[in-house]
Amino acid sequence: MSLTVYGNVSNRTAFLYPQRRENMADKNKKSYRTKRVFVNNIDTYSSKYIAKFLSNSIVGSSLEEANTDEYGSGADEPKPQKSKLHDGTFQIVGSVSDYGNGEHSFALECYSSQNRDQLLTRLLECDVIVYNISEYAAAGLMDEAMWAISALHSEKESFTSQKIFILISSVMTWAMIKPVDPNEPDIPLTEEDYRRKKPHPHFKEHANAEKTVLKLGKTKKSKLSSYVVAAGVQYGMGENLLHYFFKASWLGERATLPVFGAGTNIIPTIHVSDLAGVIQNIIDHKPKKPCFIAVDDSKNTFEDIVKTISLVLGHGEIEKVPKEQAYLTKALTEVEVEYLSVNLQLEPVLLKDNFNIHWVSKSGIVNGINQVVEEYKQSRRLQPVKICLLGPPAVGKSTVAEKLCKHYKLLHVRLRDVIDEKISHLVETVKWGQQQGTGGESLSIAQIQLDSLKSSMQQDEGRLSKELLYVIMREKLNSKPCRDQGFVLDGFPKTYEQAKELFYEEDLEQNHSKSRIPSYNKNIIPEFIFSLEASDDFLKERVQNLPHSLADDYSQEGFLSRLERYRKANVEDETVLNYFDELEILPEVIEVNNAGDIEYSAVMESILRLVGHPRNYGPTPAEREETKRKAAEERARQLVLETKERKRIEAETKAKMATQLAKRSVQVTEVKRQERELLEARSCPLRNYLMKDVIPSLSEAMLECCKAKPDDPVDFLAEYLLRNNSQE
């Protein structure tokens, strides 16, 4: 199979990336010598971000003094760099396992084949060759890495300049190493302990690859030098190994995040961008030492990491479960579970002593979790969808809201449900505290809130005061599920004042004091406002035709009263729609006028077109299986119905044909009888004539013929009858 090349800036026969047709040098800027870097599998997690990082990095820039600030320790969030090739940056070429899997605009060329003869030609064109096997790799990839260093080693005498080979391996090749001092197991391991390391059983091939790379890189370093980087568990930029925990927290479907095993094991980690920085430093510095440990300064346990993810992104609760249960989790492979079980304390001495790394998260994922979560949301395109549905009573807001929540995986926020949920939560909190016999500030606060709600409802016939109402609604809209996934606000607020009070933000009052736009909380304000409208006659007719299960909610008198209040509130100068207009969130009015459209297909089509695609994961595997199951059940049901209908039609047709045959048989019998009677009736005169006039004469003639026995009986009979007839 031939090597396929995607994109090229040289004169070789290949296609040029459209994004690269711009001038790649600014005449007014200083020109730098670039380095051509090969990175394998640039469509996979860490290789992709390493390649992106290098494509935006100036060759030799890490030789300058590093900026010691890090994003995870409170520095300003970095501005994303555009993937734009220019003089002085590393030029990236690489292989891809699936060219259609994402964009590779940061690369000059992409090779989608594994033809080694042609691949070697490409490797020989590069100054640096990076093979990444840090993510658990198939044996074929590790064989390719060892082949690549061996092939380059064989060609080293033809090199006009030094080439660098970097193998990015895993700390799992250190997993079974014994402590430096058994009496003090907490002493961290350093690069000096490299020769004592012992790999995890699943990573013996990685260890063999490391040995091969180091051995071949020693023979003639002026032509070919090699390095091995033992990378910690990588995180950031959308996540890979830890994605299971991020996704479970973001979806909020689990009350607790699982910690497999005791969770006390220390997992060496590194942000994927910091790993890329290590690779850049190796290329720039060309250090004498060939082995490096690439980990951050954190000493976080597995429990620390999961707990932090849950606190920032989920419900904040964890649950320790047996390690064996992890193997039953379809989202994690056996090797990934082993990654999470590693227990190592590593100290990257060479990184600290020799390199200038612009750390993204030097202190680890726990301290830098806010930035990591933001990267996760941006990389995965997980943004909340916040919708407000307004309209008159009985127009179908709740039906449409439920459909939108199902489609976009949002929270359905209804005033009545939010109040009931709050009261139930407070009751359970107080009850649990009393049962446990514990007091404390949280129990006191819950009791005070519960008493306040009950008192307010007793004073106003079951209704809450406006102040408490706004507090509860704001608390709901500020909850993590609403802020992460989004919500559909169903039928509230109803008036300008309610909207102003609900979305009001005190902290912004001073900033907006001179602005005509009301101050509002951007975290909870809806992004889309839809007003469902219908005529009064249409709504009245719809209420009359509602099923009995909904009739109690829309009594004739109560409905008319609510409709009248709604119409009055929406003819004033300051309506709820005016409020959103002032914020430049333009409401969309959708007419509901088809009584036959019980599924609200037209309304949903309009809203989905305006809101766009979901900004989340879509259906979970369980939901997809449930959808398939329901589809299969529906197909089976339809098949049964079709079979039953076909049999019914066949039976009806058979019975109809039998009836028609019986009727036809009766008709045929009757026709035959009538024909017989008609023939008999028509034959009577002829018989009488024969019996009276023909038979006697003929009988007499035949007797005479028998007596005479003539030679010609016919002539005899004719003559006899003629003669006797003439005589008569």
Q: Which of 477, 104, 61 is nearest to 277 (CA)?
A: 61
pLDDT > 90? residue 562:
no
**Residue 588, pLDDT score:** 95
Work out the average pLDDT over 622-650.
Answer: 84
Q: Does 542 have pLDDT greater than 90?
A: no
Could you tell me what percent of the chain has a pLDDT over 90? 53
Question: DSSP states of 478-495 as a string?
Answer: TSHHHHHTEEEEES---S
- In this predicted structure, the answer to whether residue 200 has a pLDDT above a threshold of 80 is yes
Burial readout 261-280 (b: 16 or more C-beta within 10 A, e: otherwise): bebeebbbbbbbbbbbbbbb
Beta bridge partners of 488: 387, 412
Cα–Cα dist 555/543, whole Å: 8
User: pLDDT higher for 266 or 690?
Assistant: 266
pLDDT grade for 549, boundaries at 50, 70 and 90: low
A 10 A CB-CB count for 23 gives 7
Percent over 70 (pLDDT), the chain: 86
pLDDT at 67: 47
In whole angstroms, give the CA distance from residue 609 to residue 607: 5
Q: Which of the 8 DSSP states describes residue 265?
A: P
- What is the average per-residue pLDDT within 32-48? 90
Q: How confident is the model at residue 430 (pLDDT cuts 50, 70, 90)?
A: confident
Position 19 scores a pLDDT of: 35
Split at pLDDT 50, 70, 90, the class of 697 is confident
Predicted confidence at residue 545, as pLDDT, reads 79
Distance of CA 22 to the CA centre of its chain: 35
Q: Name the packing angle between helices 369-380 and 302-313 (round to 10°).
A: 60
Q: What is the mean pLDDT of residues 411-432?
A: 91
Q: What share of the chain is helix, strand, coil (3-state, %, to 5)?
A: 50, 10, 40
Q: Do the bridges between strand 528-533 and strand 588-591 make them parallel or antiparallel, or are there none, so unpaired?
A: parallel
The whole-chain average pLDDT of the chain stands at 85
**Domains of the chain from N-terminus onward:** 1-66+80-120 (no CATH), 385-611 (3.40.50.300), 621-727 (no CATH)
From the CB of residue 61, how many other CB atoms can be counted at a distance below 10 Å?
A: 16
State pLDDT tens for residues 401-411.
999 998 898 99
pTM across the whole model: 0.75
pLDDT higher for 272 or 435? Answer: 272
When pLDDT is cut at 50, 70 and 90, the band that residue 88 belongs to is: confident
What number is the average pLDDT over the span 587-602? 89
At 264 the pLDDT is: 96
Q: Which segments of 561-617 are extended strands (E)?
A: 588-591
pLDDT category of residue 85 using cuts at 50, 70 and 90: very low
Which tops the pLDDT comparison, 123 or 31? 123
List the structure tokens of 99.
């060219």
- pLDDT surpassing 60 at residue 688: yes
pLDDT at 70: 47
Q: What is the pLDDT of residues 357-386, one digit of tens each?
A: 999 999 999 999 999 999 999 999 898 999
- Choice among 93-102, 165-174, 200-209, 486-495 with the minimum mean pLDDT: 93-102
Q: Is the pLDDT of residue 462 over 80?
A: no
Query: What pLDDT was estimated at residue 190?
Result: 95
Q: What is the spatial distance between Cα 68 and Cα 57, in angstroms, rounded to a whole number?
A: 17
| Range 420-438 average pLDDT | 84
Residue 394 has which token pair?
Answer: 């009985």
- Res. 81: pLDDT tops 50: no
Interatomic CA distance for residues 224 and 287, integer angstroms: 13
Average pLDDT over residues 172-190: 91
Report whether 237 contacts 49 (CB < 8 A).
yes
Enter the tokens of residue 304: 């620390």
